Each structure stands twice: as structure tokens, then as C-alpha cells.
Structure 1
Amino acid sequence: MVKVSPEIILENEHFIVINKPPGLLSIPDREGKEASLKEILQQKYEQIFTVHRLDRETSGIIVFAKDAETHKFLSQAFEERTVEKYYVGLVAGTLPDKQKTIEAPITENTVKRGVMIIHKRGKPAITDYKVLEEFGKFSFVQFQIHTGRTHQIRVHMQYLGHPLVCDEIYGDGLPVKISSFKRNYKLSKNEEEERPILARTGLHAQRLRFTDMNGNQYDLEAEMPKDMRALLQQLRKNS
């Protein structure tokens, strides 16, 4: 088992909120060969219940319950859309509308397992987005999702023609290198080839707002990981 010490944003006797690193599964996959955040937490706590999940490459805020009652309450809150979920991401190109609501139903592709598509037989899916910064080739966007469909933001942004950067399923999957936007970029002497600055889907679950069983309100944020922060810094410097 991989020894990862996940960054704890908040912990109490009923639930734990983690800033999930990119590249780590939220829960075990079918094969069960790779480490998952849930298994790492299970080593520390006797029981851990899955409330919701994030894609492997997506970083950010995720909640696990510590008891069955909390699990039921929080799962229902997510189901009933009383939890506010905000993400930030880097998308390809410049969006014509700086703020918009996307309503397009999502279902699984019947031919390609694990790939989601927009289709009228799908479940309702609603995403609000707001462009925060523009860099020509890329835009930094905030999303609020009102439904929790698999790959929702990724599918909706592909549908708009502005997929998330480095998205292998819904975009071109190409890693972002500084040379792609910095003029006259030169490799340093000890580098044989340029290393990508971001090589995974550029999406981060930034913020959750919810109320617990006892009526306590939470508004929690997870800091963006190093790769996305570094790319934003370079884009701000070079655009």
C-alpha cells in the first residue's frame, strides 16, 4: 500500500474532509490493484464511508463519513443538491460567453465503457461556469455543479468545444509545456527535453458548502496543487 499522508482540511468525530492529491483514486477500482484514498484512510480509522468521489486526475476537496448515520445524511445532502460544489479548471481557448449555465443530459456511451456522452436519454446535468482569467490559448474557469454526474464538467466543456486541458478522454490529452505559450522559450543547459508543467486533467475541486446533521454550516476550501498553481503563474507571466 502506498504511504500517502493526505492533507486534512477538517476532521471531527463524524466526518473527515481531505484535499485529495491528483493521480490518486478516491475509492478502490474494480481491479483493486492501486491504492485509493479510502483504503489509506481505512488503515487509520476503523470505518470509513464513501459520500461522493472525485476522478483520479482531479485534485481537491472530498468528504468521507466516519459513521453510518453521517454517511446517510451527507449522501442524501449530495443527492438532494443541498451541498454547494465549486471547482476551478483550465480549459482550451477563449469562451465566447464569460458566464453561462450548461444544461445537457449525460449518459454512458454504450460502446465505450467509462466514457460519458451528451444524450437525450441521459440524466439531467447542470453546470454553471464563470471565466476568471483569459490567456488566449487557455482560460481559467470556475464551475459550480448542481448535479453530480460522472465526468460532468469534462463532458460539458467538451460539448462547448473548450475541453479541459490535458483531458485524455474529452480533450486532446496533450500535456501543457511552457514552450507552447512562452515566446522564445529555451531549454536550460542540463535539460535534454522539456518537461510538461501540467500533465493531467486540469481540474480541481476547490470548495464545498454544506450543513451537517446538527445544523452546523461549513464553507471549506482546498488549495490548488503545485502543478496547476505553477501553470497559472507561468500563464500570468507570459500572456
Structure 2
Amino acid sequence: MGRQASANAVAALPIVNGVGPSYLWLPHGSGGAMIGFLIAQFPAVGEAAWRDRMARGQVVDGAGARLAPDSVVRSGTRIWYYRELEAETAIPYQEQVLFQDEHLVVADKPHFLPMAPAGRFLRETLLVRLKLRLGIDDLVPIHRLDRETAGVVLFSSNVASRGAYQSLFQKRRVSKAYEALAAPLENLAWPHVHRSLMVEGTPFFRMREVAGAPNSETSIQMAGMQGELALYRLQPHTGRKHQLRVHMASLGAPIANDAFYPDAQPCRGDDFTRPLQLLARSIAFTDPLSGKEREFFSERRLVYSE
């Protein structure tokens, strides 16, 4: 499948309305006409759609030359194209910009809004919304939140300083704090530290815990009650996929409205009435450029209803 252009990929097509192009490496041993290759590669798109995109100059080779239906597939080369969706679900919640300078954009992401284009979301993503809102084409997320999770997330707006901020996460020099609503845990001493070995699970989008040397660690503190649910403060010391959700479910207190853990629930479609009760409350670090201590807080609150 195609990939969205990364910060290091030199795209042969420009960003249009906040949406960058995707690319695909043509596999070795391939050949024949381009239209046949694309139909086989993306059967859900269809021949008519590909012919239309080509007629509009939206499928090009690595040098930016337009490709036609009868263009020869040259194995080992890269083609560029724009993803298009016939229909895209509108996310009825608005992001907030908490901070912006010449290097960083700090956003407060709402529940349900994906970070970046993928699958059935393209324009209704935090990255594309911010590019359009701020007029910054070269905006790149420094870290990510699940679509289901709300809260603070950092973006780089300056190529020259991007590596310095990315290295903070690679070297684990960032302190992140989350809040979650879940059933109260009665017999734990606070704070409780949960460690486990997390691996990919089944279906493909889930993670699971297995026996072995831990590769994930979360500090958990019960902070009070909201009705029948407890408010927890979670501090991940590692960054495994779905780590907080898996750890809370493992303790017997899955996060309220979690459709993946402890068991995968039937797809709710675009039901916005039951957001996952998980919030990235704050993020703190020593600025690698100025040396100053920086901390940013979400302005959102968790509110649970049956």
C-alpha cells in the first residue's frame, strides 16, 4: 500500500489544501501498463478513478513527470499520487492551539480526531487541520496519540530544529502525564508501578501481555472519584502502543469506554457519544535550544456518562 510522505521524503507533488501526496515503490520484477498495476494494487479505487487522477496530473514519477494509463511500470522506482476519499466522516470536535513559536506548535487534540491521514481519514485529521489553520505546510508531529485519546501533542514547524526535539522522545527525556476514568482498584498501594512484556496481539490492532522481561512500565496513582469511577493519573515510562489501555485492563480496571480492551467490542462506527476516558493531561521537558523548562497542559476534562 502507499505511504504518506514523511519529513525526509522529497515529494514530487506539492501539498494541496493541507494534504500531502502519498508514494509507492514499484516492486522489483513488475512491468506492464501503469493502469493495470494500479488497479491490481488498489482494487477499491477502480479504473475510472485512476484514469481521472492521471488526466488531472495527480499521478507522477519521482521526477514529477506525469504518468499516463499506458506508462510503463519501471520496477524499483517510486511514484507519487494523492489519496482521495469519496466521503469522509466529519469529526464534530475542534482542536485548540495551546502554544506556537518558530519551532513548535502545541495542540490540544479532541477525542476521535486522527493524528494524520490514514485509512478512511484524510482532511479530518489533526495534522491537515493545523496545516490549513496555521498556514504551515512543513508541519510534522513529533509524537502521536491514538485517535481515541484526547490531549496535548507536539508538532515541529521548523526543519532546522526538528531533530533536537525528536531526540527528546528517542532519549526518553520527556515527562508525560495522563488521566483516565476506570473502576476503582481496592487493594493496591499508591502509587502502583505496572511492568509487563507487551507484544502484538490479535486482531492486528490490539496489544497483549506475555511472560518475559518487561518492555513497558507505567506509574499509576488514584486521584479521587467521579461518581462510581475512579480518576487515575498515569505516567508512562515507556511508549508502547496502547500501553496505558493494556496496563489498566490487566489490573482489572479497563479505561471507561475502551472498545479494544480487555476484549475487542463490535465496531461502533462513527458513534461520538462514548469517548474513551483517556486524556494526555500534560507534557514537560527541558527545551533543547533554550535550556528552559517547558510544560504544557490540556484544557480538556474527562466527563463520563452511561
Normalising by structure 1, we get a TM-score of 0.77
Q: Match for 2:110 among 1, 15, 21?
A: 21
Distance apart, 1:101 and its partner CA: 0.6
For residues 27-72 of structure 1, what are the alpha-carbon distances to aligned partners after superposition, in whole Å with 9 as ceiling and x for unaligned?
A: 2224444621011122221211121111112110000001223322
Measured in 2, the distance between the counterparts of 1:90 and 1:149 equals: 20
Q: Match for 1:201 among 276, 281, 295?
A: 276
Q: Match for 2:170 among 76, 79, 84?
A: 79
Please say if residues 50 and 71 of structure 1, whose CA atoms lie closer than 8 Å, have aligned partners that are also in contact: no
Measured in 1, the distance between the counterparts of 2:279 and 2:208 equals: 21
Q: Match for 1:35 among 104, 124, 127?
A: 124
Which protein has the larger Cα radius of gyration, Structure 1 or Structure 2? 2
For residues 149-175 of structure 1, what are the alpha-carbon distances to aligned partners after superposition, in whole Å with 9 as ceiling and x for unaligned?
A: 11110000111111100101004789x
Distance apart, 1:216 and its partner CA: 2.3
Residue segments in structure 2 that go unaligned for 5+ positions in a row? 1-87, 266-270
Residue segments in structure 1 that go unaligned for 5+ positions in a row? 175-195, 235-239
Q: What is the RMSD of the two structures over their aligned residues, measured on CA atoms?
A: 2.8
Please say if residues 8 and 18 of structure 1, whose CA atoms lie closer than 8 Å, have aligned partners that are also in contact: yes
Partner SS, residue 105 of structure 1:
strand
Amino acid at match of 1:38: L
Distance apart, 1:80 and its partner CA: 1.3
Residue 224, structure 1, aligned to residue 300, structure 2: yes
Please say if residues 83 and 208 of structure 1, whose CA atoms lie closer than 8 Å, have aligned partners that are also in contact: yes
- Residue in 2 aligned with 1:64? 155
Residue 211, structure 1, aligned to residue 286, structure 2: yes
Alpha-carbon distance change, 34 to 155 in structure 1, aligned in 2, over 3 angstroms = farther
Measured in 2, the distance between the counterparts of 1:53 and 1:123 equals: 22
Partner SS, residue 104 of structure 1:
strand
Please say if residues 116 and 122 of structure 2, whose CA atoms lie closer than 8 Å, have aligned partners that are also in contact: no
- Residue in 1 aligned with 2:194? 102
Please say if residues 107 and 121 of structure 1, whose CA atoms lie closer than 8 Å, have aligned partners that are also in contact: no
Please say if residues 112 and 148 of structure 2, whose CA atoms lie closer than 8 Å, have aligned partners that are also in contact: yes
Alpha-carbon distance change, 217 to 36 in structure 1, aligned in 2, over 3 angstroms = same
Measured in 2, the distance between the counterparts of 1:106 and 1:118 equals: 5
Measured in 2, the distance between the counterparts of 1:7 and 1:122 equals: 40
Please say if residues 106 and 152 of structure 2, whose CA atoms lie closer than 8 Å, have aligned partners that are also in contact: yes
- Residue in 2 aligned with 1:9? 98
Measured in 2, the distance between the counterparts of 1:11 and 1:28 equals: 22
Please say if residues 134 and 140 of structure 1, whose CA atoms lie closer than 8 Å, have aligned partners that are also in contact: yes
Amino acid at match of 1:205: A
Q: Which runs of 4+ in 1 moved over 3 A?
A: 1-5, 30-34, 120-123, 134-137, 171-174
Measured in 2, the distance between the counterparts of 1:50 and 1:25 equals: 12
Measured in 1, the distance between the counterparts of 2:199 and 2:215 equals: 9
Amino acid at match of 2:103: H
Measured in 1, the distance between the counterparts of 2:229 and 2:210 equals: 27
- Residue in 1 aligned with 2:69? none
Alpha-carbon distance change, 11 to 123 in structure 1, aligned in 2, over 3 angstroms = farther
- Residue in 2 aligned with 1:237? none
Distance apart, 1:26 and its partner CA: 1.1
Measured in 2, the distance between the counterparts of 1:95 and 1:15 equals: 41
Alpha-carbon distance change, 155 to 133 in structure 1, aligned in 2, over 3 angstroms = same
